[in-house]
Amino acid sequence: MDIARPDLAKKKRIRRFFSIGLAVAALCAVAAYVITLDAPRTQVRRDQLWLGKVEQGTMMRNVRGLGRLVPENVRWIAARAPGRVEEVLALSGAEVEPDDIIVRLSNPELEQKHADARLNLDAARADMESGKVRILGDLLAQKSRVVDLREASEMADLEARIQQELFAEQLSSGLNKERAVMHAKHCRVRLGMEEERLSFMESSVEHQLAALQAKVHSADAALNLISGQINALEVRAGFRGILQRLEIEPGMQVEQGRLIAQVADMKRLKAVVEVQEAQAREVAIGQKVNVDTRTSGDVEGIVTRIDPNVEQGIVRVDVGFPGGLPHGCRAEQSIQGTIELELLENTVFMPRPASVQANSSTTLFRISANGNMAVRVPASLGRSSASMIEVLRGLKPGDMVILSDISRWDGKQELELR
């Protein structure tokens, strides 16, 4: 039969408790060891980093912007007369000369007005001719009347002298003498009045003819105006270049003043560079610009105009090319412009890191001498350009720094490079 051994059970419990205690102690020791260890270093592959070197020397400050080539001379052609589009003779992209007809319009009402204006001019000319005949006829009649009165006045004076001599020899009565003298006096008065009327008529002839001539000029001007509108029904380019845009189609009704087409001189192009508002504050007319045409290489230009308006944070800068553009450049071609602001002599600078602003303090990872570690250091930065930034404090010439975005390593003081 089995014999109970209570002492053995007690020993087993003691060994179990001892084993558990040892395991707990080992775990605590391991945990304490892990806690006392430093956090593992973050490892980063060197070929995935954008590195740059701090240098000392001459730094060119500049700003960059994208843009396009556009014609310097652009002319919009507007309808000078209303009408319906009968025929389109040139399409977008066509080369046109100043006298080339682009569009033909029709306007029956305008043609009727033209016919009426011509008739009015003919009537005004006829009125002028008939008026001239009437005025000259009246003038000749008045001259004839003056001649007759002058003759009558002279005869009356002669009769008065005869009567005076007869009266002196007592061959005639005093009444005859007084009658002859009075008649001569009245003839002289009538002659004077008619001579004054003749003088007035002679002086007014020019004014009367001028009034008739003015009516002719008015009718002629009205005809010329309508004739110009008739001629304007044939819409001409008026400019040598390329027909860029055509805003109408056959059959459309066009009102006077409506824009019909756009003609541009493709031989003279300029660049329009879009610059951020914050960077455009230092841009000035006359500054040099390097323009990358993307297809024909780089070309030098100068700032010729700065748009005073800001649209969605963008300022447009016009760039001219005194030396011309390379062969093959076309309107609406995409370009990149780099505007030179100023040259900084004997300056410590480096390539501009991502997400770093000018005149700011930040921290950067500096590469150790052996190239295996990157340590976070504070740095003060100054003026900047499109690709470079001035270093004021924290780095020295020859230092290598990480230029990539380091926000993912916030809180890390060291990086291990491999």
pLDDT of residue 38: 47
| Range in 22-31, 246-255, 302-311 the model is least confident about | 22-31
Q: Give the model's pLDDT for residue 218.
A: 93
Based on the fold, state whether residues 357 and 325 are members of the same structural domain.
yes
Please state whether beta strands 51-53 and 74-78 pair in parallel, antiparallel, or not at all (unpaired).
unpaired
* pLDDT of amino acid 393: 92
In angstroms, rounded to a whole number, what is the distance separating the alpha carbons of residues 210 and 128? 9
Burial of 264 (0-12, 13-18, 19+ CB in 10 A): buried
Chosen domain end from 228, 250, 279? 228
Residue 40 has pLDDT above 70, yes or no: no
Residues 179 and 216 in one domain: yes
One domain for residues 143 and 220: yes
As a whole number of angstroms, the distance between CA 390 and CA 357 comes to 11
Q: Among 219, 245, 264, give the residue marking a domain's end.
A: 264
The reported pLDDT for the residue numbered 10 is 59
* 391 and 272 fall within a common domain: yes
Q: What is the pLDDT of residue 7?
A: 56
Query: Largest Cα–Cα distance in the chain?
Result: 222
On whether residue 159 sits in a domain, the answer given is yes
Query: How confident is the model at residue 94, as a pLDDT?
Result: 87
Q: How confident is the model at residue 410 (pLDDT cuts 50, 70, 90)?
A: confident
98 shares a domain with 240: yes
pLDDT in tens, 154-193: 888 888 888 888 878 877 788 888 888 888 888 888 888 9
Taking the CB of residue 399, how many other CB atoms lie within 10 A of it? 20
- Residue 305, pLDDT > 70, answer yes
Q: Region 225-234: what's the mean pLDDT?
A: 89
How much is the average pLDDT of 193-220?
88
Q: Greater confidence, 54 or 410?
A: 54
Query: Does residue 222 sit within a domain?
Result: yes
pLDDT at 271: 94
Whole-model pTM: value is 0.58
Residues 203 and 220 in one domain: yes
**Domain assignment present for 23:** no
**Domain-located, residue 189:** yes
Beta carbons within 10 angstroms of residue 403's beta carbon: 19
Q: Could you tell me where the beta strands, DSSP code E, fall in 352-372? A: 360-367
Domain of 212 in residue numbering reads as: 108-228
Which tens digit of pLDDT belongs to each residue from 328-364? Answer: 888 889 999 999 998 889 999 999 987 788 889 999 9
Residue type, 259: L
368 and 393 assigned to the same domain: yes
How many domains is the chain partitioned into structurally?
A: 3
Q: Which pLDDT belongs to residue 93?
A: 82
41-82, pLDDT tens digit by residue?
688 888 888 899 999 999 999 999 999 999 888 888 898 889
Q: Are residues 272 and 387 in the same domain?
A: yes
**Partners of 96 in beta bridges:** 241
**pLDDT digit string (tens) for 90-135?**
888 888 888 899 999 999 999 899 999 999 999 999 998 988 888 8
**Average pLDDT for the chain:** 86
First to last CA, the chain: 74
Residue type, 86: E
Residue 85: give its domain's CATH number: 2.40.50.100
| Within a domain: 10 | no
Residue 272 sits in the same domain as residue 404: yes
Report the amino acid identity of residue 318.
D
What is the DSSP secondary structure assignment for residue 365, as one 8-state letter?
E
Residue 124 lies in a domain: yes
Q: What pLDDT score does 1 carry?
A: 44
3-state secondary structure of 241: strand
In a domain, 36, yes or no: no
Residue 6 placed within a domain? no
Given a cut of 90, whether residue 249 has pLDDT beyond it is no
Do 122 and 81 belong together in one domain? no
176 and 323 in a single domain? The answer is no
pLDDT of residue 6: 57
